[in-house]
């Protein structure tokens, strides 16, 4: 026998019975995005590798070790999209969207690919919703982006999420702070782990992430970025916080919140869920005022977020038990004997043509077997066709919930089912 082929590591199949809840979440998201004035954008699933290398940043984990990169037959280096912001920025530049009224507000629902080792809530292919707003430095837009995400979580009933916010400063104040922090880290070198020594050199802000107890203790007395923000960044941050309050959004300031993409400036934020385990981030984002320029576009500010669909679903399944389920057929047409099967097929066809979700037996099951199928499939009506019914041009209409049966002319029975379908929608 040939060797069994399974889904690639870290990937999964989405089976029919899992589709309903997913579609519902997607529909909620789409509704929220539309209401906040964001238009849908779709881009290719792969891009030139350089887009991510330059946009996301050479020093990030994503670019250094997590990209699905391949050479196409033309010898070009291509990469399966690991995140959404850089492709959105590329599309903004490529289509001259700076000539549109600013800001240009876009949303997406895309699969992302990262070569990571899978664990709870982390996959090599996963979906993200995201929004990106280009062309405005207004802090109201930062607060709005956070508000969009909060609205989404609220409307799908995702409780127990906590918002953390921080500011990463800008080109002016970040170098000052970086130098200050690096100097502090060098002073305390003896108390830090070897990994933090490396971080000190590459990206000192990352030392705040370290969980080694000694490092955590040192970092408690480290200088905080919020105390080194320049006047503009300070003012920006204040307005963002104020506009969160205006929206009734609770948050905690977390000066240790450092996100993995190099492009963030000023506002960064992350929503965490207590029910998720180690991968507790459900969604996060921030401002990226230098990104568009770094991929060869005109200087253009932007702000946005990404949120993981699988993590939303995981958190939902752990906090709600009233999620939408799969809808079965409304009507199941039963043939009492083989001579009625052709008639049954014709009736199913008629019902389907008139908009009714109708089903019938394909396995030559007995009458009893067909009734069983109707019951298991969740059909509301069974339409039973036997010799007596066909001879009279009638059908026995059975209400599966009450067990009540009526012999009706075929057209009348059809009418009842069609009306039920209409009212079910």
Partner RNA sequence: GUGAACGUAGCUCAGUCGGUAGAGCACUGGAUUGUGGCUCCAGCGGUCGCGGGUUCGAAUCCCGUCGUUCACCCCA
Binding positions for RNA, 249-308, rule CB under 7 A: 258-261, 277-284, 306-308
| Beta carbon nearer to RNA, 58 or 242 | 58
Alpha-helical regions (H) of 109-167? 139-155
Per-position x/- string for 182-211, each x denoting binding to RNA as judged by CB under 7 A, each - no binding: -----------------x------x--xxx
CB 368 to RNA: min, Å: 5
334 in Cβ contact with 351 (< 8 Å):
no
Q: How far apart are CA 55 and CA 35, in angstroms?
A: 29
- Of residues 27 through 56, those in contact with RNA by CB under 7 A are none
Q: How far apart are CA 164 and CA 119, in angstroms?
A: 23
CB 258 to RNA: min, Å: 7
| Beta carbon nearer to RNA, 265 or 396 | 396
φ/ψ region of 146 (left if φ > 0, alpha if ψ in -120 to 50, else beta) reads alpha
Q: How far apart are CA 414 and CA 407, in angstroms?
A: 12
| Beta carbon nearer to RNA, 214 or 232 | 214
| Beta carbon nearer to RNA, 231 or 404 | 404
**Binding to RNA by residue 96, rule CB under 7 A?**
no
**Binding to RNA by residue 373, rule CB under 7 A?**
yes
Q: How far apart are CA 282 and CA 311, in angstroms?
A: 6
148 contact partners, CB below 8 Å, separation of at least 6: 32, 33, 36, 38, 131, 305
CB 235 to RNA: min, Å: 26
| Beta carbon nearer to RNA, 104 or 315 | 315
Chain-centroid distance, C-alpha 387: 53
CB 154 to RNA: min, Å: 16
| Beta carbon nearer to RNA, 282 or 295 | 282
- Of residues 208 through 237, those in contact with RNA by CB under 7 A are 209-211
**Binding to RNA by residue 83, rule CB under 7 A?**
yes
Q: Residue 316's closest CA among 156, 424, 205?
A: 156
Token reading at 66: 């997590």
Give the three-state DSSP class for 56.
Answer: coil
Token reading at 340: 């009625």
Token reading at 70: 């391949």
Q: Residue 240's closest CA among 216, 210, 203, 269?
A: 269
Contact pick of 34, 120, 247, 317 for RNA (by CB under 7 A): 120
Count interface residues toward RNA (CB under 7 A). 71
CB 149 to RNA: min, Å: 9
What stretch of H or E contains 24?
Answer: helix 16-35
- Of residues 389 through 418, those in contact with RNA by CB under 7 A are 389, 396, 398, 400-403, 405
232 burial via Cβ count (<10 Å: 0-12, 13-18, 19+): middle
- Of residues 308 through 337, those in contact with RNA by CB under 7 A are 308, 310-311, 336
111 contact partners, CB below 8 Å, separation of at least 6: 45, 81, 125, 126, 127
Number of helical H runs and strand E runs in the chain = 15, 16
**Binding to RNA by residue 58, rule CB under 7 A?**
no
**Binding to RNA by residue 365, rule CB under 7 A?**
yes
| Beta carbon nearer to RNA, 15 or 73 | 15
CB 388 to RNA: min, Å: 3
CB 100 to RNA: min, Å: 26
CB 274 to RNA: min, Å: 12
CB 212 to RNA: min, Å: 8
Contact pick of 92, 108, 110, 123 for RNA (by CB under 7 A): 123
Q: How far apart are CA 371 and CA 139, in angstroms?
A: 62
CB 74 to RNA: min, Å: 28
| Beta carbon nearer to RNA, 176 or 203 | 203
Q: How far apart are CA 236 and CA 301, in angstroms?
A: 13
Contact pick of 76, 95, 372, 406 for RNA (by CB under 7 A): 372
**Binding to RNA by residue 121, rule CB under 7 A?**
yes
Alpha-helical regions (H) of 247-355? 291-294, 309-319, 341-353
**Binding to RNA by residue 5, rule CB under 7 A?**
no
């Amino acid at each position: 026998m040939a060797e069994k082929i399974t889904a690639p590591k870290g990937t999964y199949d989405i089976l029919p019975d899992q589709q309903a809840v997913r579609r519902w979440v997607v529909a909620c998201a789409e509704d929220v995005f539309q209401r906040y004035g964001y238009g849908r954008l779709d881009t290719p699933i792969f891009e030139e590798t350089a887009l991510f290398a330059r946009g996301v940043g050479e020093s990030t984990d994503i670019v250094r070790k997590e990209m699905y990169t391949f050479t196409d037959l033309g010898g070009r280096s291509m990469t399966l999209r690991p995140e959404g912001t850089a492709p959105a920025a590329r599309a903004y530049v490529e289509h001259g969207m700076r000539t549109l009224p600013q800001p240009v507000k876009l949303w997406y629902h895309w699969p992302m690919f990262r070569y990571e080792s899978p664990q709870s809530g982390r996959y090599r292919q996963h979906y993200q919703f995201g929004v990106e707003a280009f062309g405005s430095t207004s802090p109201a837009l930062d607060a709005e982006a956070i508000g969009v995400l909060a609205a989404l979580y609220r409307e799908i009933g995702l409780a127990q999420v906590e918002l953390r916010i921080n500011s990463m400063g800008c080109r002016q104040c970040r170098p000052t702070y970086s130098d200050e922090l690096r100097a502090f880290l060098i002073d305390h070198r003896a108390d830090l782990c070897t990994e933090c020594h490396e971080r000190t050199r590459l990206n000192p802000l990352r030392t705040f992430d370290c969980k080694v107890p000694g490092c955590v203790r040192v970092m408690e007395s480290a200088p905080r970025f919020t105390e080194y923000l320049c006047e503009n960044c300070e003012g920006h941050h204040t307005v963002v916080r104020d506009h969160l309050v205006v929206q009734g959004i609770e948050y905690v300031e977390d000066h240790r919140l450092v996100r993995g993409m190099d492009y963030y400036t000023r506002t960064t934020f992350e929503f965490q869920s207590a029910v998720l385990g180690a991968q507790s981030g459900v969604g996060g984002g921030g401002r990226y005022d230098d990104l568009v320029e770094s991929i060869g576009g005109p200087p253009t500010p932007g702000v946005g977020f990404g949120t993981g669909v699988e993590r939303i679903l995981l958190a939902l399944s752990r906090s709600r038990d009233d999620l939408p389920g799969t809808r079965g057929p409304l009507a199941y047409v039963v043939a009492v004997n083989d001579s009625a099967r052709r008639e049954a097929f014709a009736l199913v066809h008629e019902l389907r043509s008139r908009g009714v979700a109708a089903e019938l037996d394909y396995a030559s099951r007995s009458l009893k077997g067909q009734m069983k199928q109707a019951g298991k499939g969740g059909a509301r009506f069974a339409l039973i066709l036997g010799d007596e019914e066909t001879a009279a041009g009638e059908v026995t209409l059975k209400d599966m919930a009450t067990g009540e049966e009526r012999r009706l002319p075929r057209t009348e029975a059809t009418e009842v089912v069609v009306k039920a379908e209409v009212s079910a929608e």
